[in-house]
Amino acid sequence: MRRHPVNGRRVWVTGASSGIGRAVAVELVRRGATVIASARNESPLHHLVEQCGGDRLAAVPCDVSDPVANRRAASEIVGQFGGLDVAVLNAGTCEYVEVDRFDSAVFERTMRSNFLSMVYGIEAVLPLLRQSPAPHLVGMSSTVAYAGLPRAEAYGASKAAIRYLLESLRIDLYRLGITVSVVCPGFVRTPLTDRNDFPMPFRIEAEDAARRIVDGIEAGKAEIHFPKRFSLAFKLLTLLPTRLYLRLCARLVREP
Ligand SMILES: NC(=O)c1ccc[n+]([C@@H]2O[C@H](COP(=O)([O-])OP(=O)(O)OC[C@H]3O[C@@H](n4cnc5c(N)ncnc54)[C@H](OP(=O)(O)O)[C@@H]3O)[C@@H](O)[C@H]2O)c1
């Protein structure tokens, strides 16, 4: 069901220099959207402009962990495109916690890269979305937000915070007609997961993830989660008694 076609809409994608964000930007252009692509590294963004054509995709470099840079990017979008219809706030990083070297700095970095960056992005785009005839806010969480997983104390907390933030915002923005979607992927093959040293069941390609995300945006879905055999199984696991869940997850913990 395509209730909110992206064709002809102006879409900001953060974290568009690689992985899921890059693939989402390409998929959006393929479906007729005008895309503003952001990340810190400029050279992959310029390659993306070459690939998609400068009339359909513009690069606006931005460090999303800086609130001023987010507001500057929003002004540039208004200057170039007259406004914004959809924000896909996807940029993020992942760091794992080593419990024997528990370090608050990991949490500070991760919350800034993921959660606070999302907050800064929302602060920058809300005034623009309020002016759009078909506004949609899309934020990147993860299936890790559903329940605790080993070594994910910082990353999972940032993604759970994002999920909560977007679920609350959905209620507050309802009366303004702004659709809010939270994206919860399982494992997707990207530079971020290429660094993982553990098995990643049902890992899918970034292009596949992008198609599912844009399908979800066009369907106006509140939660876009995939692959279903992973995300639904994980949701079911969270219904288990705590002791059973703990016993299952404890098997995933590596010996030091
Ligand atoms: N891959 C998965 O399995 C998976 C699963 C669930 C959720 N996710 C989430 O999906 C999102 C994309 O991840 P990915 O797997 O595609 O990873 P990726 O290939 O490493 O891409 C991350 C993107 O975020 C950008 N970024 C990071 N920090 C930034 C900052 N401060 N300012 C601007 N851009 C920044 C990076 O660009 P620059 O370095 O050029 O700035 C890059 O474009 C993340 O939020 C991640 O947590 C991924």
| 59 CA from centroid of ligand 1 (Å) | 16
Distance CA 40, CA 46 (A): 12
Does residue 81 carry a pLDDT above 60?
A: yes
Q: Which ligand 1 atom sits nearest the alpha carbon of residue 41? A: 40
Q: Which ligand 1 atom sits nearest the alpha carbon of residue 144? A: 6
pLDDT tens-digit map of 47-72: 999 999 889 999 999 999 999 999 99
Task: Select from 35, 90, 111, 225 the residue to mutate for testing ligand 1; criterion: most ligand atoms less than 8 Å from CB.
Answer: 90
Per-residue pLDDT band for 216 (boundaries 50, 70, 90) equals: very high
| 175 CA from centroid of ligand 1 (Å) | 31
Please tell me the predicted confidence (pLDDT) of residue 254: 66
- State both tokens at 129: 């979305």
Please tell me the predicted confidence (pLDDT) of residue 252: 80
Give the global pTM. 0.97
3-state secondary structure the chain: CCCCCCCCCEEEEECCCCHHHHHHHHHHHHCCCEEEEECCCHHHHHHHHHHHCCCCEEECCCCCCCHHHHHHHHHHHHHHHCCCCEEEECCCCCCCCCHHHCCHHHHHHHHHHHHHHHHHHHHHHHHHHCCCCCCEEEEECCHHHHCCCCCCHHHHHHHHHHHHHHHHHHHHHHCCCCEEEEEEECCEECHHHHCCCCCCCCCEEHHHHHHHHHHHHHHCCCEEEECHHHHHHHHHHCCCCHHHHHHHHHCCCCCC
Domain ranges for the chain:
10-250
Does residue 3 carry a pLDDT above 90?
A: no
Please tell me the predicted confidence (pLDDT) of residue 25: 98
Catalytic site includes residue 155: yes
Distance CA 165, CA 159 (A): 10
Does residue 209 carry a pLDDT above 80?
A: yes
Q: What's CA 172's distance to the chain center, in Å?
A: 20
Q: Which ligand 1 atom sits nearest the alpha carbon of residue 45? A: 40
Distance CA 233, CA 134 (A): 34
Distance CA 94, CA 185 (A): 14
Q: Whose CA is nearest to atom 14 of ligand 1?
A: 19
Q: Whose CA is nearest to atom 20 of ligand 1?
A: 192
Task: Select from 189, 192, 207 the residue to mutate for testing ligand 1; criterion: most ligand atoms less than 8 Å from CB.
Answer: 192
Please tell me the predicted confidence (pLDDT) of residue 211: 98
Q: What CATH number has the domain spanning 10-250? A: 3.40.50.720
Q: Which ligand 1 atom sits nearest the alpha carbon of residue 141? A: 7
Q: Which of 146, 155, 164, 245 is catalytic?
A: 155
Distance CA 69, CA 46 (A): 19
Distance CA 245, CA 148 (A): 10
Cβ contact 237:147 at 8 Å = yes
Spell out which residues line ligand 1, taking CB within 6 angstroms. 14-21, 39-41, 62-65, 90-94, 113, 117, 140, 142, 185, 187-188, 190-193
181-110-256 Cα angle (round to 5): 120
pLDDT tens-digit map of 147-190: 999 999 999 999 999 999 999 999 999 999 999 999 999 999 99
